[in-house]
Amino acid sequence: MTDPQTSSSGMPKAYDPASVEASIYNMWEDGGYFSPSEGSGDPFTIIMPPPNLTGELHVGHALMDTVEDILIRWHRMRGEPTLWLPGIDHAAIAVHTLVERQLGEEGLTRFDIGREKFLERVWDFVNTSRRRIFDQHKRLGASADWTRERFTMDEGPREAVRTVFYKLYQQGLIYRGERLINWCPGCQTAISDLEVKHRDEQGSLWHISYPLAKGDGSITIATTRPETIVADTGIAVHPDDERYKALVGKKAILPIIGRELPIVGDEAIDREFGTGALKVTPGHDQVDFEIGMRHKLAIVNSIEKDGTMGEEAGPYAGMDRFECREAIVRDLDERGLLVKTEPHTHSIGHCERCDTVVEPLISLQWFVAVNKEYGDGKSIAGEALRVVNDGLIEFAPRRFTRDYVNWMENIRDWCISRQLWWGHRIPVWYCDDCDETTVPPPDVDEPQACDGCGKSNLHQDEDTLDTWFSSALWPCSTLGWPDDTEDLKRFYPTTVMETGYEIIFFWVARMIMMGLFCMEDLRGTVEERIPFKYVYLHGMVRDDKGAKMSKTKGNVVDPIDLIEKYGTDALRYSMITGGGTGQDQRLWEEKVEAGRNFANKLWNASRFVIMQLDDAGDSVPALASRDEMPAEDRWVLSKLDRLVEEVDRQLQDFQLNEAARRIYDFLWGDYCDWYLEMAKIRLRDGDKTPLPVLSTVLETGLRLLHPFMPFVTEELWQRLRNVTGEERLAALIVADFPNSDPQMRDEDADRSVEGAIEIVRAIRNIRSERKVEPAKFIEAFVVTPDESGMAASGSYIEALARVRPLRIVSNASDAPREGVATAVLPHAVVVVPLAGMLDTGEEREHLSKEIEETETYIKRLDGKLSNEQFLSKAPADVVAAEQGRRDEARSKLGGLQRALAELP
């Protein structure tokens, strides 16, 4: 940050982010501005989604930080007690895999060094990675309260995990059972349905003949997984399928293994797929498992957890599952049981983490019974569904509400155990003498006696809890739950949960379920128990071609590299304007460069204003009353007030991208390109009255822009403060966010100045089309019924359009008709004599084309306004607006036709 004693005239000509960002951030942090104020009123709270520990922050985190920091800074400037609580997730599978890979490079496994030494290595990695990630958050400008930073493996969150596990277990909502789960042979752990990513792949559909157990004949099934044939325990057909009705109740012989298989009728069978007959393998397929449960079929598990075939695979035991597939197909063919093979594209599940093909296996795991009723007849999932349906929690964008509801209406029990060492170890002990299960209260670190027999021969479950189990407690555990702390009382429910739409089901749904459950003993009403009131969902950041970024594709963009090159504000601006709420966006360097250009534009404009103020010193006049102001002053203040109102509304509606674009349009266009240039004309003439307007609008604009681009705005605000003598506040970060004052609106000034701007644009376009030298002055006529009013803007039109002489007339006859270029505007006609620089043929072609386009536009409007359905259904103001556009277009057409007729 600039030393307050530094002269403003020493401002560099270009903004250098690297020279100011670190010092500004330190000033904010040292000033305690990130902690919530002690003010009254409802606090605004965001609990930062915890990034995992596996490496550097990516562009998705950059977008997350940008969105959340904008909301936090806006509410902080509104004077609300504002808390943004940061944290990090222990990322069990990801970190576990990373450390195991490091061990593998040393020729070791975790089992070689044991659990204790393995966890020591993990903690070494955690402590190194944790600080680096927070430093990266700070580089992104995150104004989080670092004094409250949390880690999912800290003592507080650990106690929360133990407490909620105990509460759920006591209510009968946590159970251990053998179920079909998704098993990753690569990560060697169970994973949830949400951690399985499906993609279509080209495979085969094998048609295999199963002989009937009695008499001649056979039944042919079709399968994409012949390696699981060895685990078949039945064959299912649709009960109404005429081809197989007679076979229901009979038995077939399992090829190679020789086991008898009952043939059952089940309505879940798709008669159109394959042969219409399905081999049932309850141990390796979810649909088959459900069919097996309905018909009490045996369960055979033929695939081991490492992806090899087990003892039940008979002659194929010990083979890799995919090698077994080839061997079985070969053997079936040799025995004449392979009827045919045809190409088939089907969806195959892969582990989200390591991309290994997932194997459905029967396994003993711990589950949360999300649909089971407890207490007064409610369920965890049912409560989480109700609060969204009742509008207590709202999604932005709203379309994701439907996705959430669909998921919750079809949710299955949640498998929460993972076969890992890193993470929250399952707080369950088993008795070596009686096999009883003991789940101690959370204040008991380790039980000394079995709940069943009372003996002390106990051992703890080796598994850990799903990472999302502890993350589901994040909104309340970070604030002190299970204790009813002051932070929990003040900041829960939190206000906004901001995250990516791709983890609605991983995390958002589970936070809602667990938040409602956890807070039952502390809060009486459901409104007090919800974890947050709004869910803001951002989209995915893709590369410049729209592809998902990945290291394997080599298209990953490092946000820190972009910050080093263009500055934090440039990256933040490009990301927040890159896509609407919940929409994916593309990112490439040129977009970030455009953000840097905006920062430089603002810097240069501010530099001019600050230097002018500094030079003027005590002679800067006070802001004049509106009655005494010229039109351009009233216009820019009127435009500013409309912007303030618009930005505030858009921020309240979570339209952050639109708010940023509107601020950009005003500062770059209205302020820098137009008002500043108008003000320079008066300043050159020794008139200092534009200075307080320039200063006021700039200061207000910096406050509006600060949440989006905090560094450059703070730097400029400090420099402006140095010359204006502002002493009330030490930093922009805690300045008041602007409030609208409708009394600043001035429609007359708006019309007058906008009209002059249109004339300047028209003349500039004519100059550009005719390739007139930029420095050359040209003659121009403006035909307008408001001759005197337009004359007040004459000096600006002359200077900004490079016109000399400028002739403002009320009658078209006073302007030349031949050898001219004409621009027809709603309020005026611009006539530029083109003697010596006009190609008459080109001008005729240009006017003819514009006439044709205008006639087409009028024809379309005529059609719309003659449509009875439109006239009867559209609101009156919409119809009136369309009629106004048609009238305007007709007027323009008349002017174009006259201009064409006047050409020599």
Q: Span 624-647, mean pLDDT?
A: 94
- Give residue-wise pLDDT tens across range 798-830: 999 999 899 999 898 899 888 788 899 988 999
Please compute the mean of the pLDDT values over residues 773-782 and round it to a whole number.
89
Q: What is the rounded CA–CA span in Å between residue 591 and residue 5? A: 36
- pLDDT at residue number 248: 93
Query: Taking 60 as the threshold, does the pLDDT of residue 536 lie above it?
Result: yes
What's the length of the chain?
A: 904
Query: How many other C-beta atoms are found inside a 10 Å radius of the C-beta of residue 298?
Result: 14
Write the pLDDT tens digit of every residue in 870-882. 888 888 888 888 8
> Which one of 9-13, 63-67, 130-134, 616-620 scores highest in mean pLDDT?
63-67
The label of the residue with tokens 């501005």 reads 33
Q: 897 pLDDT exceeds 90?
A: no
Q: Per-residue pLDDT tens for 298-338?
A: 999 999 999 999 999 999 999 999 999 999 999 999 999 99
Distance CA 142, CA 129 (A): 18
Q: Say what the pLDDT of residue 276 is.
A: 92
SS3 807: strand
User: How does pLDDT run across 718-744, given as a tens digit for each residue?
Assistant: 999 999 887 778 899 999 999 999 999
pTM (2 d.p.):
0.83
Average pLDDT over residues 125-139: 87
The one-letter amino acid at 82: T
167 band by pLDDT with thresholds 50, 70 and 90 = very high
pLDDT confidence tier of residue 9, bands split at 50, 70 and 90? low
Q: How many CA atoms lie within 13 A of 433 on its CB side?
A: 10
**pLDDT value at 223 more than 50:** yes
Long-range contacts formed by 714-718: CB under 8 A, 24+ apart: 714/1, 714/24, 714/28, 715/1, 715/2, 715/15, 715/20, 715/24, 716/602, 716/603, 716/606, 716/610, 718/1, 718/2, 718/4
Q: Do you find a cis peptide bond into 805, omega within 30 degrees of 0? A: yes
Q: What angle do CA 461, 465, 470 make, to 5 degrees?
A: 140
Q: Is pLDDT at 239 greater than 70 in this prediction?
A: yes
Task: List the single range of 374-378, 489-493, 643-647 with lowest mean pLDDT.
Answer: 374-378
- Six token digits for residue 167: 């509460």
Q: What are the tens digits of pLDDT across the range 400-456? A: 999 999 999 999 899 999 988 999 999 999 999 988 999 999 999 999 999 999 999
pLDDT confidence tier of residue 551, bands split at 50, 70 and 90 = low
Q: What is the mean pLDDT of residues 525-545?
A: 92
Residue whose structure tokens are 């100059």: 767
- Farthest CA pair distance, the chain: 113
Q: Confidence class of residue 837 from pLDDT cuts 50, 70 and 90?
A: low
Residue bearing the bigger pLDDT, 902 or 35: 35
pLDDT value of position 68: 96
- How high is the pLDDT of residue 901? 76
Which neighbouring-strand residues pair with 137? none
Partner residues linked to 234 by β-bridges: 280
Position 227 pLDDT exceeds 90: yes
Answer whether 437's CB lies under 8 Å from 176's CB.
Answer: yes
Residue 5 has a pLDDT of 39
Cis omega (within 30 of 0) for bond into 441: no
What average pLDDT does the segment 382-411 reach? 94
Q: Is the bond preceding 826 in cis, omega lying within 30 degrees of 0?
A: no
According to the model, what pLDDT value does residue 840 have?
66
pLDDT tens for 270-309 read 988 889 999 999 999 888 999 998 999 999 999 999 999 9
Tokens at 292, concatenated? 């097996």
pLDDT for 838 equals 56
Contact 532, 393 (CB under 8 A): yes
Q: Which residues contact 249 (CB under 8 A, 6 or more apart)?
A: 262, 263
Report residue 225's pLDDT band, with 50, 70 and 90 as the boundaries.
very high
Does the structure show a pLDDT above 50 at 7? no
In the three-class reduction of DSSP (H, G, I as helix; E, B as strand; rest coil), residue 14 is classed as: coil
- Which residues fall within 8 angstroms of residue 484, CB to CB, at 6 or more apart? 522
DSSP string of 142-166, one letter each residue: ----GGG-EETTSHHHHHHHHHHHH
Residue 524 has a pLDDT of: 85
Q: What angle do CA 495, 392, 142 make, to 5 degrees?
A: 15
Q: pLDDT tens, 639-689?
A: 999 999 999 999 999 999 999 999 999 999 999 999 999 999 999 999 999
Q: What is the mean pLDDT of residues 687-715?
A: 97
Give yes or no for residue 886 having a pLDDT over 80. yes
pLDDT value at residue 725: 81
In the predicted model, is pLDDT for residue 4 greater than 70? no
Q: Classify residue 62 by burial, with Cβ atoms within 10 Å: 0-12, 13-18, 19+.
A: buried
Q: What is the mean pLDDT of residues 889-898?
A: 87
**61 Cβ contact partners less than 8 Å away, ≥ 6 residues apart:** 51, 136, 137, 140, 559
pLDDT of 95: 86
On the question of pLDDT at 76 being above 90, the answer is yes
User: To which residue do tokens 């097996």 refer?
Assistant: 292
Q: What does the angle CA 569 – CA 572 – CA 577 come to, to the nearest 5 degrees?
A: 125
